[in-house]
């Protein structure tokens, strides 16, 4: 049974699971900040993160720099919004603004 079950006239009705905005993250293989950001997102219920490995794709690195104006990883997008790097993600979470952005 899916979450949350709802009782309707003495029977349970399945509701669709809540959907989250897509998460895209520009990463490299060896990046502790990328690992920390992924862990935080998973703690907040994100099941799928589209990872773009810029250490393997120079064109992706160029695109990331053009879109974000930054050279460092991770660079995280939730939906169409660029939220920044790991420190920015942690700050959003501490301010209580991460979960609403994910919803």
Task: Give 25-40 pLDDT, tens digit per residue.
Answer: 999 999 999 999 999 9
Residue identified by tokens 């029977």 is: 11
The pair of structure tokens assigned to 103 is 């919803």
Task: Give 45-69 pLDDT, tens digit per residue.
Answer: 999 999 999 999 999 999 999 999 9
Q: Domain 18-102, what fold? A: Glutaredoxin (3.40.30)
Q: What is the pTM of this model?
A: 0.81
Judge contact between 6 and 13, C-beta under 8 A. yes
Contacts of 97 by beta carbon, 8 Å cutoff, 6+ apart: none
Contacts of 16 by beta carbon, 8 Å cutoff, 6+ apart: 2
């Amino acid at each position: 049974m899916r979450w949350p079950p709802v009782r309707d006239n003495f029977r349970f009705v399945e509701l669709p699971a809540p959907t989250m905005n897509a998460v895209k993250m520009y990463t490299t293989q060896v990046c502790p900040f990328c690992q920390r950001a992924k862990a935080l997102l998973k703690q907040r219920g994100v099941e799928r993160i589209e990872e773009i490995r810029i250490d393997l794709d120079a064109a992706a690195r160029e695109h990331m720099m053009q879109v974000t104006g930054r050279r460092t990883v991770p660079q995280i997008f939730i939906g169409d919004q660029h939220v920044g790097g790991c420190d920015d993600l942690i700050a959003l979470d501490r301010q209580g603004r991460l979960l609403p952005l994910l919803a």
